[in-house]
Structure 1
Amino acid sequence: MKSDLINFEKDDHHCTLFVQGDVDLSNSSELRKTILSALKTSPLVEVDLADVTYIDSSGIAALVEGLQYANNHDKSFHLKRLSAHVKSIIELARLDQVFTIDD
């Protein structure tokens, strides 16, 4: 699947979602649906946020919902390569203590 917001790489063991640009109310539902779809078919989902220039509360909520789904269905959900903006929001909300974050 390719969109302006999300690209992905997938194999039998994991799926990596590459998110880019602004994640806000206008497209956070696309992120949410993509995360949940990936979690239904992969034991590990990583969300690469290196190219995210802006994320609002609806984008953060999509990430949290992915984590909750993973925890409830014995899956792994990681964030990786946080952009400076995403990192500051995640830390401000203290979600860096909740998510598994890889460099």
Structure 2
Amino acid sequence: MSFEIRIHTGADHLRMALSGEIDLAVSPRVREALLACLGNGQAVEVDLSEVSYIDSSGVATLVEGLQLARQQGVEFTLSGVGGTVMKVLKLARLDEVFTIRQSPRAVGQGAA
């Protein structure tokens, strides 16, 4: 399965939409994109609605993104988390750590 990263830029936040499987092979690409988004100083939303699988390296990348966002005082949310991805986050109890939105917000739409 192919993996894709799409960045949507809005006035008040960036949405990084991921699709495919996040594993050891693609985690470095996700990390690089997250660092670039966080370097912008805007709130970052990671849209996982099209992610079918995530392994421990992918989870670690998301945790690193959250930690960096907190250090910078930037909002960091996950959205569209379901199925296997939610099971993995719940197993690690990270569903209690991340701010998770049920569905992605429109780029340009403020925090609700």
CA RMSD of aligned residues (A): 1.3
1:80–1:102: 8 Å Cα contact kept in structure 2?
Answer: yes
Residue 4 of structure 1 deviates from its aligned partner by 4.0
Residue 84 of structure 1: aligned partner = 83
Percent identity of equivalent pairs? 42
The structure with the greater share of residues assigned to helix is 1
Compute the TM-score of the two structures, normalised by the length of structure 1. Answer: 0.93
Give the distance between the partners of 2:11 and 2:35, measured in 1 at CA.
Answer: 16
Give CA-to-partner distance per residue, 1:67-89, whole Å, 9 cap, x none.
Answer: 00000011010000113111000
Task: Tell me the matched-pair count.
Answer: 101
Compute the TM-score of the two structures, normalised by the length of structure 2. Answer: 0.86
SS of the residue 2:39 aligns to: helix
Q: Does the alignment pair 1:54 with 2:57? A: no
2:18–2:46: 8 Å Cα contact kept in structure 1?
Answer: yes
Structure 1, gaps ≥5 residues long: none
SS of the residue 1:64 aligns to: helix
